[in-house]
């Protein structure tokens, strides 16, 4: 059996030789290519045809277009952009929803910008009220970036060992109950599922830790299986999203979450059980993962969608919101590709079709986190790289993605870069390049940084796009540079490097996984030079 990562690396090895040499001239070429890409808007809206997705966006790397209203009697429109320093740039266009002109976007300096739109009559005189929009013109990709001080694999191993040595994680070796002094155990699917994955990865990478790592993983798995809904119930094999016994904190106390579960959280546990089965060949773990998959298949609607949040006992949806399906699609993709379970092919195809006909048409890649309310969200209010890049990566993990699918992946990655990647710090000082998580959580998160890098690697694996590779490398180099070399701690928020209390184990797992992918990708890339 081969993991998705191994299959991706195999496809990488088939790329043509002749990647861009990393010289001063080579970096200049990369920067020029990036600059040209930034002149074109990402999925610009068109009145009556395609929605504008950037209503809540406040910064742009790619030239944006905005849903300004037409004015009766206007022959053309004047766009005036004023910077913080008072510098002004302008152009005219017959369409008020035109993209900012390339010749203006190229000259516009980074920083705060106020855009004023004035309608002009046949004589060139202003008519009606002006319309305005303020935003930040953000820093573009500009290589080279500082290199990682040591290998990606070493960084991954150090991060995994930091988690392994945490007293609250060692606790699982002798107990099947969580140590709630680590408060994020209040999210058992996400955190305890990720703990199992960390320990299985450590057991594979460092044989000297295998026995105690698998002891830890088994203890954590026993808790999740014990807490899961019984066979025959609506949510059979699903552990809870929220757990507040023994001092639970955070979103478990929100009234809207009482006796509820986020539909996609069990996928983390499904993947964890598959990891543990691969490590131990113990059937109970595979059976539990397949039980989770069967529940998803049963809950999936005829149109391919799944509800985002349901009652934990009845399985009934608690709102009309559908889940973004990237994580689910990657889970069933893994089941049939790595374990031969073809019974999920139809479910995968249905879910993929729903994503293409829904979110990919509206381009509303909304965030759906268990600790951020999904109630009353307006369209596009909480975009996130997590939703966008997880689906983009799913598309690139297909053995033969279509041209349309690669274009969709490119657009999703570009939107994530435009809205969440910071190539240089804006305002406050924090390590860059790094990636903010979502509109409603403006923090540079290690897992989000790795998330965008993984999608870029997937895109490069099919296209050989050197710029995509260099962007991914720059992001992962920053992860290594910000690691605490003494302890191996991979800070969840790169803005608080010594904030050990703000440490999400799931973010460490995701980051370590992509560090290992980056290690293999770099080897394949360098062989082709």
**Helix intervals (H) in 44-151:** 102-107
Domain boundaries, given as residue ranges, for the chain? 1-38+365-529, 66-139, 175-323+325-364
Output the CA–CA distances (angstroms, integers) from residue 228 to 185, 235, 313, 466, in the order listed: 15, 9, 11, 45
Pairing mode, strands 126-137 and 59-60 = parallel
Which of these, 38, 272, 213, 13, lies nearest to 139 by C-alpha position?
A: 38
Contact assessment for residue 509 and residue 471, using Cβ atoms and an 8 Å cutoff? no
The string of DSSP codes covering 193-239 is HHHHHHHHHHHHH-GGGHHHHHHHHHHHHHHHHHHSPPTTSTTTTPP
421-441: b (≥16 Cβ within 10 Å) or e? bbbeebeeebbbbbbbbbbeb
Question: Rounded to an integer, what distance in angstroms lies between the CA atom of residue 107 and that of residue 109?
Answer: 6
Query: End-to-end distance of the chain based on CA atoms, in angstroms?
Result: 30
175-323+325-364 in CATH: which number?
1.50.10.20
Which residues make Cβ contacts (< 8 Å) with residue 258, sequence separation at least 6?
Answer: none
Which residues make Cβ contacts (< 8 Å) with residue 381, sequence separation at least 6?
Answer: 56, 366, 439, 440
* Count of other CB atoms within 10 angstroms of residue 485: 13
Contact assessment for residue 495 and residue 442, using Cβ atoms and an 8 Å cutoff? no
pTM above threshold 0.85: yes
Output the CA–CA distances (angstroms, integers) from residue 336 to 1, 14, 351, in the order listed: 11, 23, 15
Q: What pLDDT does 52 receive?
A: 94
* Backbone phi, psi, residue 138, to 5°: -90, 170
Output the CA–CA distances (angstroms, integers) from residue 82 to 110, 135, 190, in the order listed: 12, 11, 45
* Count of other CB atoms within 10 angstroms of residue 402: 10
Residue 353 C-alpha from the chain's centroid: 20
Contact assessment for residue 262 and residue 366, using Cβ atoms and an 8 Å cutoff? no
Which residues make Cβ contacts (< 8 Å) with residue 387, sequence separation at least 6?
Answer: 324, 326, 359, 365, 366, 367, 368
44-73: b (≥16 Cβ within 10 Å) or e? bbeeeeebbbbeebebbbbbbbbbbeebee
Question: Rounded to an integer, what distance in angstroms lies between the CA atom of residue 285 and that of residue 292?
Answer: 11
Give the H/E segment covering residue 130. Answer: strand 126-137
Pairing mode, strands 260-262 and 59-60 = unpaired
Which of these, 175, 186, 148, 55, lies nearest to 511 by C-alpha position?
A: 148
Q: What is the mean pLDDT of each run of 10 residues along the chain (529 residues)?
A: 43 39 84 97 86 94 96 97 97 97 97 97 95 97 97 98 98 96 94 98 98 98 98 97 73 73 96 98 98 98 96 93 95 96 96 97 85 76 94 96 98 98 86 92 92 98 97 98 94 80 93 98 89
Crossing angle between the packed helical segments 210-227 and 193-205, to the nearest 10 degrees = 160
* Backbone phi, psi, residue 307, to 5°: -70, 150
Here the tokens at position 281 are: 């060949």
Here the tokens at position 172 are: 């699982």
* CATH match of 66-139 with 2.60.40: yes
* Count of other CB atoms within 10 angstroms of residue 340: 9
Which residues make Cβ contacts (< 8 Å) with residue 165, sequence separation at least 6?
Answer: none
Q: What pLDDT does 258 receive?
A: 81
User: What is the chain's Cα-based Rg?
Assistant: 24
Which of these, 108, 113, 162, 110, lies nearest to 134 by C-alpha position?
A: 113
Q: What pLDDT does 244 receive?
A: 83
Question: Rounded to an integer, what distance in angstroms lies between the CA atom of residue 452 and that of residue 393?
Answer: 9
Residue 112 C-alpha from the chain's centroid: 27
Which of these, 189, 186, 298, lies nearest to 233 by C-alpha position?
A: 298
């Amino acid at each position: 059996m081969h993991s998705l990562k191994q299959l991706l690396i195999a496809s990488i090895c088939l790329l043509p030789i002749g990647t861009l040499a990393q010289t001063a001239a080579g970096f200049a070429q990369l920067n020029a290519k990036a600059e040209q890409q930034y002149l074109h808007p990402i999925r610009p809206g068109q009145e009556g045809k395609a929605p504008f997705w950037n209503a809540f966006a406040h910064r742009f790397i790619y030239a944006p277009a905005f849903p300004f209203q037409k004015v009766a009697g206007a022959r053309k429109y004047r766009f005036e952009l004023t910077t913080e320093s008072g510098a002004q740039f302008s152009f005219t266009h017959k369409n008020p929803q035109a993209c900012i002109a390339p010749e203006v976007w190229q000259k516009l300096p980074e920083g705060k910008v106020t855009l004023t739109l004035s309608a002009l009559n046949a004589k060139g005189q202003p008519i009606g009220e002006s319309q305005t929009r303020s935003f930040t013109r953000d820093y573009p990709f500009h290589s080279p970036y500082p290199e990682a001080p040591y290998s990606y694999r070493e960084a991954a191993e150090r991060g995994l060992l930091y988690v392994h040595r945490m007293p609250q994680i060692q606790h699982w070796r002798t107990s099947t109950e969580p140590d709630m002094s680590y408060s994020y155990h209040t999210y058992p699917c996400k955190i305890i599922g990720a703990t199992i994955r960390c320990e299985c990865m450590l057991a594979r990478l460092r044989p000297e830790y295998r026995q105690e790592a698998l002891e830890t993983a088994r203890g954590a798995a026993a808790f999740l299986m014990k807490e899961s809904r019984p066979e025959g119930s609506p949510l059979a094999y699903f552990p809870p999203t929220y757990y507040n016994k023994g001092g639970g904190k955070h979103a478990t106390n929100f009234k809207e979450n009482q006796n509820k579960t986020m539909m996609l959280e069990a996928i983390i546990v499904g993947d964890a059980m598959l990891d543990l089965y691969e490590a131990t060949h113990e059937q109970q773990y595979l059976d539990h993962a397949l039980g989770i998959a069967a529940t998803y298949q049963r809950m999936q609607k005829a149109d391919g969608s799944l509800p985002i949040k349901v009652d934990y006992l009845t399985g009934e949806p608690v709102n009309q919101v559908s889940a973004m399906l990237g994580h689910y699609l990657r889970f069933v993709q893994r089941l049939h590709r790595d374990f031969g379970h073809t019974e999920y092919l139809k479910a995968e195809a249905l879910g993929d079709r729903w994503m293409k006909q829904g979110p990919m048409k509206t381009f509303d890649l909304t965030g759906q986190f268990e600790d951020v309310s999904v109630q009353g969200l307006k369209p596009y209010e909480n975009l996130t790289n997590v939703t966008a890049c997880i689906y983009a990566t799913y598309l690139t993990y297909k053995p033969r993605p279509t041209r349309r699918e690669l274009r969709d992946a490119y657009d999703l990655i570009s939107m994530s870069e435009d809205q969440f990647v910071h190539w240089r710090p804006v305002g406050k000082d924090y390590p860059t390049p790094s990636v903010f998580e979502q509109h409603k959580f403006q923090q540079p998160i290690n897992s989000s940084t790795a998330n965008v890098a993984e999608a870029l690697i997937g895109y490069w694996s099919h296209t050989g796009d050197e710029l995509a590779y260099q962007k991914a490398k720059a992001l992962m180099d920053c992860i290594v540079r910000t690691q605490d070399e003494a302890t191996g701690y991979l800070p969840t928020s790169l803005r608080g490097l010594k904030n050990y209390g703000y440490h999400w184990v799931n973010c460490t797992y995701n980051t370590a996984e992509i560090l290992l992918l980056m290690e293999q990708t770099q080897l394949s890339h360098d062989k082709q030079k």
